[in-house]
Chain A
Amino acid sequence: MNNLQHLFSMHMVLSTLRLAIPLTLASIGSVICERSGIINLGIEGMMLSGAFGAVFGTHISGSPWIGMLVAILVGGLFGLIHALLCIRYRTNQAVSGVGINIFASGITIVLCQVVWNKEGLSGEVTAIPNVTVPGLSQIPVLGKLFEKQSPYFFITLVIVAVSWYVMYRTKVGLRLRTIGDNSKAAATAGVNVTRYRYVSVIVCGMLCGLAGSFLSIVQSNLFVKDMVAGRGYIALAATIFGGWNPFGSFLASLLFAFSQALRINIELDIPEQFLQMLPYLLTMVVLIIAGRKVKGPQESGDIRD
């Protein structure tokens, strides 16, 4: 087998892009959340609830698009819970996230049994079909990106662009970044800090829900217990590795997705555990090198006022 040829094949590119979708979505949510001063360790649970919500919504309505909306709603609901606990009741943000993860892992399995009478497994539903963009798919080489591509790919690109634009080119984004670094200054300038935080955490939940739905009704057509399998934490790593910037999140997600694609598609001499470890190792290195100068939101995880 010619590994090098595989390494740069279109197949690897497409595989990487596909694997990057859920990471990017959840990571951008996490960026928005942390910029408002709140760490979300519940990404994993929010994605999981979204994955379940998507299958459940599709099961009830028959339409996977409705399933996607349900996933966004369920994710947003979990976001609201995290927001209420952290903002209104001043719960330790890390504890709240851990609680949400355990709760989501349990409740999705319980509901599988209630709805489908199966242990940790849902029934099969209709998945969101891939699309081929007429015209664009005819372009040589690049056309492959538009051929039998998941609509989520395009949704993700739009979200990357929009979230980057809002964060760095609008007043809303400027205020959000100010809140994360110095909420007092933002409040003094007349910004409704609390409202920004609620919206940010809820949007994060919605993006996580959307990310989860990709796993259950795009990549697959059913819910399996704990199917997020640590991707929430990889998304968190991508948040840091990407420098708390939506576009950075996208690049970091691509890198981490590439290491996953390597593991899945190519036989290497590197033990697969090291590839699995890579996102965390790289992020750890970044944290250590950047150290004190890490450009993250200064007040993230520690809201006072």
Chain B
Amino acid sequence: MTYIIKGKTADWEMICGLEVHCEILSNSKVFSGASAEFGGLPNTHVAFLDCGMPGQLPVLNEKCVEQCIKTGFGLNAKINKHSVFDRKNYFYGDLPTGYQITQLFYPIVGEGYVDVTDEDGNIKRIGVERLHLEQDAGKSIHDMHPTQSYLDFNRAGVGLMEIVSKPDIRSPEQAGDYLRKLRSMVRYLGTCDGNMDEGSMRCDINVSVRPVGEEGFRHRVEIKNVNSVKFVMQAIDLEVHRQINLYEQGLDFPQETRLFDAVNMETRAMRSKENALDYRYFPDPDLPPLNLTEEYIENIRVNLPEMPEAKKKRYMESLGLPEYDARILTSDKDTAIYFERALHGGATQRDPKKVANWVMGDLFAALNREYIAIEDSPVRPEDLGSLIDLINDGKISGKIAKEVFEDMFTTGKSAAAIVEEKGLKQVSDTGAIEKMIDEVIAANMDKVAEIKAGKDKLKGWFVGQIMKASQGKVNPGLANQLLEKKLSEV
């Protein structure tokens, strides 16, 4: 079932492409030596170039080039050995030089793709048109003074990767998964922190609709600067219905740029194509073309970290995890790091499925409950590993382990320390258990008689009584075994 909207006059489908801006993780800005760190007091991360002083010249930060190439590999894309920087000219308060340095004609990364999961769980390939390197603008702050605006140039000149998809997206869910995949990928590669709240990943949406079966594209609307996966999906859904509604009333609308308003849940016109800007692109004469050697690109390729798809495959093939587990554990770089650290205790490897169950079960539940990111988990992966060891060694029962885990989560203490403090160690002393069984049998001879008469189910009740008497510390396997023996002796 694809995403088809049943209208009054026709069945409609949507056509969508995304332009995603990712702020590059680098110490300094793309063309100046100022810090590229997020935040800071206004105008404290500003070189002379970043506020457009006369005579200041851009010098390309090689780290940003490397980050683009890495991301290019993450997009399965062609890396262009020759790329050129262009000036995009327009006037605005937060654009200090009156032009943005970008790459229009010859981007650093060419065509690639991202595989997403659609609403039916099928894999759909979304083409990537290009990735180009450019600089970010500063920030205009309009709400601090009734008649004046304030300017903060800390962000001006921070490196951006603009990733442009082909118009291959056919549903809000595909768009959402495309963004999630991109975010996961750049975080794996360490090329962008993927933080949409802080604006280090921003999305422009291009969307149009047409009746199913119609060829060609109708008027396209661009929705600017949508800053969460959820909002992107909502904005597309709203816009698609708005467009269909207009067509079905026999109306048309201009090719225009709109804004998404998450409070009123609507898109609003910003500017139409008729008064669209002419950005007067032309090659920046201050920057020579960027020419990369085969060796340089190859050197970056061989040093790439393992990507989600490859990792997922390895988890399934060599760790024997089910597809579902492998997908969840590799969907996010920090989850995969946590899992792998919990999996390995020194030279030994723990049971992957057991570790996976703990991570995806109790750990995820606790983290979600407390709104804590996995990299900040109070239970460190090594400690979760040790907890699993205690179960495997028969020192504590699985049931006790769950309690221990909760204690670990609240106190941050190690499993061994909690087990020791609370005296939770499992009783495996046969003599002690036998004694407990004897007492329970002696007190419940009527029930023993019922068992003898064939009411086998009551055995479970006996085990329960033994567990209760021992406050859960008895090894249940052992208790069962000894109970059988004792009952036969009665």
A binds B: no
Chain A interface residues (CB < 8 Å from chain B): none
Residues of B whose CB lies within 8 Å of any CB of A are: none
